[in-house]
Every structure is written in structure tokens, then in C-alpha cells.
């Protein structure tokens, strides 16, 4: 639990709009300064096994290949993971495992500040 607490305190809030997810709230967070690759896990993930890379819906079984294709020309192999509050930790870890399998070096979990919409 301490590791998760540290991850949530260090992770940056999501500033761009995309798929609506109910993000967990952290009291301290820094803004994201540049364009990053965001993977969103909506509440419907349990039903249809789909995540969103930016605005594009992707099935979980092809997520590894799609992310691998996106990482080919990138020097920073970072992905920011946004999970709806209704998504379980196990489901987020399943997506994280797929991202690591695609060659992602760092996976950040995005949260929002209290009072942020």
C-alpha cells in the first residue's frame, strides 16, 4: 500500500480531455509538461476488455502490438495510465503487464487533485 501511495503522490494529473474516467484523487501532484502517450481504462473494461490509446479504442489482446508500434520512433518509453475509479487494481495491473510487454520502460498512474473535474 505504501508503494501505491507513493505512486499516486508522484503521478501527474491529466490535463487533456478524452475518454471520461473517474480518476482517484491525490492531495499533491505535478502537472504534465509535454505531450505523452496516455492509455485510459474505462469502467466498461470489465465488460468489453477495451482500453483507449488517446481517443482510439483498442482491445486488450492487441494492446501490446499497438503500443509497440507507437514506441518505435520514441526516445522516452513512457506511458501514462488512467484508470476509472470503478476499475480494480488487478485490471490495471493486467494492462500494465501488457504495456511492459510492449517495451514501455516507465508506466505512470495519473490522478487528479481534490476539487478538479
| Res 117: pLDDT | 60
**All domains of the chain in start order, with CATH:** 2-109 (3.30.420.270)
21 contacts 43 by C-beta, under 8 angstroms = yes
Q: What is the mean pLDDT of residues 10-33?
A: 59
> In the predicted model, what is the mean pLDDT of the chain?
79
Q: Inform me whether the pLDDT recorded for 102 exceeds 60.
A: yes
Q: Which strands make up the sheet holding 37-41, listed edge to edge?
A: 56-59, 50-53, 37-41, 78-83, 106-109
| Res 113: pLDDT | 59
**Among residues 109, 78, 111, which one has the least CA distance to residue 91?**
109
Q: What is the mean pLDDT of residues 13-26?
A: 61
Q: What is the mean pLDDT of residues 78-92?
A: 89
Quote the CA–CA distance of 105 and 21 in Å, as a whole number: 24
Amino acid at each position: 500500500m505504501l508503494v501505491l501511495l507513493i505512486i499516486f503522490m508522484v503521478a501527474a494529473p491529466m490535463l487533456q480531455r478524452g475518454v471520461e474516467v473517474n480518476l482517484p484523487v491525490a492531495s499533491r501532484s505535478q502537472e504534465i509538461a509535454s505531450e505523452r502517450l496516455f492509455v485510459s481504462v474505462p469502467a466498461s473494461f470489465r465488460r468489453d476488455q477495451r482500453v483507449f490509446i488517446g481517443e482510439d479504442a483498442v482491445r486488450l489482446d492487441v494492446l501490446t502490438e499497438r503500443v509497440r508500434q507507437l514506441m518505435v520512433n520514441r526516445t522516452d518509453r513512457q506511458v501514462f495510465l488512467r484508470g476509472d475509479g470503478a476499475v480494480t487494481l488487478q485490471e490495471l495491473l493486467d494492462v500494465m503487464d501488457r504495456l511492459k510487454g510492449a517495451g514501455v520502460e516507465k508506466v505512470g498512474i495519473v490522478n487528479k487533485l481534490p476539487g478538479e473535474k
